[in-house]
């Protein structure tokens, strides 16, 4: 079991910088304005041979009418309830504020183990100023600099003393990673909240609500995988803020690091150019894909609508149009888990190893029926096929003149392989080599 430590505090005290320091990453977006972090953002900390989870939260605000700040407050309170140890981040340069007092009052009610972390202690003079934070009434107080890392070692040593002794390393490398991607406001966070059965991620009707790539472990109904919610990907000309630019970069990185993408499209808008750009990015990353047409309940339809919509979609996705398509409604909870089931089928197809004997038996027979066309009087003889042991699925075709195998014949072989080995939704590469 992995134990959880939460970082909480008012806006702009350096929580995300501390998160990045502890996880030795740059997963959380950091900007010198408040409200950048919105959802709970999880990472892993390794210290003294032990591993535990840490969660970054948005800045805590009281009595705000702003829709985002109301939702951030809910996420902070959920993180506090989940965690066993709380890192209460404050800013030594501003001292105790009314908002700090509000956060302290909330933590005292919860009765959790709390460590006050005075951030931005960059010199000895500021180290002397941290004593005022004992006024919160918590026993543990550490002065640190999240930017330089000063003091974080002692902080982590103390965190380990507050966690149960059974903190163990957990190998997550073999757990499937499913990323939910698409344009803004197509229902990515909503579908993840529906999968999990609670509000894991903030959902509003405003585009751009999600900023970080948010990872969540999902275990249930026979499944065990990591779900990744991503920021909506808009075309470059519409990306105006630095924050959104970094959000999109993290979405692209999430695609690169995932096994399968649940690629969401708004049924009411249809397939647009930006949808195709995202789809091409998924294929370029050699990530498995399931196309999820969301908001299907809002489309006026008859008995022919679904088939016509699907045919139009696959035509636009050509030439890579051998993909599973699921029509869902998150609000009506229609076919939500069907999308998960198909995603896992794509994952198993993508990670399968096809025996060399079976590969040659099936494909050499197809090649014999329809051999490569001659080129400048040269006959191409394909003699042997082998799956290449790489992370992304690939196959090597050994032949006498690989340079004469043309694209249309490569596509013919790809289609035959998809047909025989059930590779729907799986991008793979074909290499032609001299035997």
Instruction: State pLDDT tens for residues 272-315.
Output: 888 898 898 899 889 999 999 999 999 998 889 999 999 999 99
Residue 239 lies in a domain: yes
pLDDT in tens, 231-255: 656 554 444 444 344 455 667 777 8
How far is residue 360's CA from residue 241's CA, in Å, rounded to a whole number?
Answer: 53
Residue 44 lies in a domain: yes
pLDDT at 387: 96
> Residue 187 is part of a domain; what is its CATH number?
3.40.50.300
Final residue before a domain boundary, out of 162, 196, 224 = 162
Residue 172 lies in a domain: no
Q: Are residues 86 and 133 in the same domain?
A: yes
Q: What is the DSSP string of 96-129?
A: --HHHHHHHHHHHHHT-EEEEEEE---SHHHHHG
Q: Are residues 265 and 132 in the same domain?
A: no
Q: Are residues 226 and 287 in the same domain?
A: yes
pLDDT at 198: 55
- What does R_g of the chain's alpha carbons equal in angstroms? 26
Q: List, for the chain, all residue ranges whose pLDDT scores fall below the cut of 70.
A: 1-2, 25-41, 59-75, 165-173, 198-214, 231-250
Final residue before a domain boundary, out of 162, 190, 223 = 162
pLDDT at 73: 65
Distant-in-sequence, close-in-space partners of 321: CB < 8 Å, separation ≥ 6 = 314, 315
Q: How many domains does the chain have?
A: 3
Residue 171 lies in a domain: no
Final residue before a domain boundary, out of 335, 350, 365 = 350
Torsion angles phi and psi, residue 49, rounded to 5 = 80, 0
Is 54 exposed, middle or buried, given 0-12, 13-18 or 19+ CB atoms closer than 10 A?
A: buried
Q: Are residues 46 and 146 in the same domain?
A: yes
Q: Are residues 228 and 152 in the same domain?
A: no
Distant-in-sequence, close-in-space partners of 429: CB < 8 Å, separation ≥ 6 = 286, 392, 393, 394, 395
Residue 110 lies in a domain: yes
The pTM for the full model equals: 0.61
Q: Are residues 153 and 221 in the same domain?
A: no
Q: Are residues 289 and 417 in the same domain?
A: no
Answer yes or no: are the C-beta atoms of 243 and 211 closer than 8 Å.
yes
Residue 242 lies in a domain: yes
Q: Are residues 276 and 346 in the same domain?
A: yes
Q: Are residues 120 and 44 in the same domain?
A: yes
What is the residue range of 52's domain?
Answer: 4-162
Smallest Cα–Cα separation from 100: which of 59, 130, 70?
59
Q: Are residues 207 and 337 in the same domain?
A: yes
Q: Are residues 118 and 245 in the same domain?
A: no
Element (H, E) at 133: none
Q: Are residues 409 and 342 in the same domain?
A: no
> Residue 364 is part of a domain; what is its CATH number?
3.30.300.20
């Amino acid at each position: 079991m992995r134990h959880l430590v939460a970082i909480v505090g008012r806006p702009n005290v350096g929580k995300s910088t501390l998160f990045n320091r502890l996880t030795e990453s740059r997963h959380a977006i950091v900007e010198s304005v408040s409200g950048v972090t919105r959802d709970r953002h999880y990472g892993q900390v390794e210290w003294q041979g032990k591993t535990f989870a840490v969660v970054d939260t948005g800045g805590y605000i009281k009595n705000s009418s702003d829709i985002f700040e109301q939702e951030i407050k809910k996420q902070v309170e959920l993180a506090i309830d989940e965690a066993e140890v709380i890192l209460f981040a404050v800013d030594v340069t501003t001292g105790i504020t009314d908002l700090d007092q509000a956060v302290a009052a909330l933590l005292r009610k919860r009765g959790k183990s709390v460590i006050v972390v005075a951030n931005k202690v960059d010199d000895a003079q500021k180290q002397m100023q941290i004593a005022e934070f004992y006024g919160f009434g918590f026993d543990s107080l550490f002065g640190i600099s999240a930017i330089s890392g000063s003091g974080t070692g002692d902080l982590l040593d103390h965190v380990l003393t507050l966690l149960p002794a059974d903190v163990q390393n957990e190998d997550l490398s073999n757990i499937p990673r499913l990323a939910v991607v698409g344009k803004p406001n197509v229902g990515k966070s909503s579908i993840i909240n529906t999968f999990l059965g609670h509000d894991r991620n903030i959902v509003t009707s405003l585009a751009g609500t999600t900023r970080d790539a948010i990872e969540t472990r999902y275990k249930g109904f026979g499944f065990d995988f990591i779900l990744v919610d991503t920021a909506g990907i808009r075309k470059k000309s519409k990306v105006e803020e630095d924050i959104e630019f970094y959000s999109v970069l993290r979405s692209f990185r999430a695609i690169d690091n995932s096994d399968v993408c649940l690629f969401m499209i708004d049924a009411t808008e249809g397939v647009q150019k930006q949808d195709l750009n995202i789809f091409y990015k998924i294929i370029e990353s050699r990530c498995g894909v399931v196309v999820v047409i969301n908001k299907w309940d809002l489309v006026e339809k008859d008995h022919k609508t679904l088939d016509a919509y699907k045919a139009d979609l696959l035509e636009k996705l050509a030439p890579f149009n051998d993909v599973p398509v699921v029509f869902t409604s998150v609000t009506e909870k229609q076919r939500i888990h069907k999308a998960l089931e198909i995603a896992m089928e794509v994952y198993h197809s993508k990670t399968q190893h096809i025996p060399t004997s079976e590969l040659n038996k099936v494909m050499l027979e197809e090649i014999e029926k329809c051999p490569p066309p001659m080129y400048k009087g040269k006959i191409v003889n394909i003699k042997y096929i082998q799956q290449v042991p790489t992370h992304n699925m690939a196959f090597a075709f050994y032949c006498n003149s690989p340079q004469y195998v043309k694209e249309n014949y490569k596509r013919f072989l790809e289609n035959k392989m998809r047909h025989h080995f059930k590779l729907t939704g799986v991008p793979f590469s074909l290499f032609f080599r001299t035997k």
